[in-house]
A = this chain, B = another copy of it.
């Protein structure tokens, strides 16, 4: 009996898929994208190669699956320890700093995952769409103050822009053009441009 993934939900993977994802993480941590050889993934997770392809459409699909797991972990972390910033702009910066840190503390893994997400394969669209939605929800939840009302459409547009900036800069990091600190700093600067220096709204 295999668990069927619900629409919009990131998790809900069966036992085999979980082991496959774990193996992919281990391999990517040490050697990055190229070290995630699907034969090795299969062996390390104790399944046949065909089973890997039964769960994931491609190597990139698998690594985007890893990305989703990271997001779930971060979501739980934010649930237990909310961001501390006074203003929304501060919390925004902290949020993207945490997101960046999550990907950059294990550089090989982060690069592999981002590269996979950036590939732009049509087969990845569905998974990436879900990831995008979940990320947006995560950010919205993380930056909302205790006594804030609902986020406006304007706010959502700004957040989408910031997400784009973040993604682009991460690709720059992946390519060796930027450091994680630069990524964080530049997203924060973009946020200031969008919100005005004061950080109200």
**A120 interfacial by beta-carbon distance below 8 Å:** yes
Query: What is the count of identical protomers in the complex?
Result: 2
B193:A158 contact, CB within 8 angstroms: yes
Segment with Cβ contacts to B, from A17-25, A73-81, A135-143, A171-179? A171-179
- Chain B CB count within 10 A is highest, among A119, A160, A161, A167, for A161
How many of chain A's residues have a CB under 8 angstroms from any CB in B? 33
A108-149 interface code vs B (CB 8 A; 1 in, 0 out): 000100110011111011001100000000000000000000
Would A168 and B175 be within 8 Å (CB), given that A119-B119, A157-B189 are in contact?
no
Cα distance, A169 to B168, chains bound together (Å): 10
Cα distance, A158 to B120, chains bound together (Å): 26
Cα distance, A128 to B111, chains bound together (Å): 17
List, sorted by A's number, 30 A–B pairs whose CB atoms are closer than 8 Å.
A111-B120, A114-B120, A115-B119, A115-B120, A118-B118, A119-B119, A120-B171, A120-B174, A120-B175, A121-B175, A122-B176, A124-B175, A125-B176, A125-B177, A128-B177, A129-B177, A154-B193, A157-B189, A157-B190, A161-B161, A161-B165, A161-B193, A163-B168, A164-B164, A164-B165, A164-B168, A165-B165, A167-B168, A167-B171, A193-B194
Given contacts A114-B120, A164-B168, A164-B169, 10 further A-B contacts (CB under 8 A): A111-B120, A125-B175, A128-B177, A160-B186, A161-B161, A161-B193, A164-B164, A164-B190, A165-B168, A167-B171
Q: Show the binding face of A for B, using Cβ within 8 Å.
A: 111, 114-115, 118-122, 124-125, 128-129, 154, 157-158, 160-161, 163-165, 167-169, 171, 174-177, 186, 189-190, 193-194
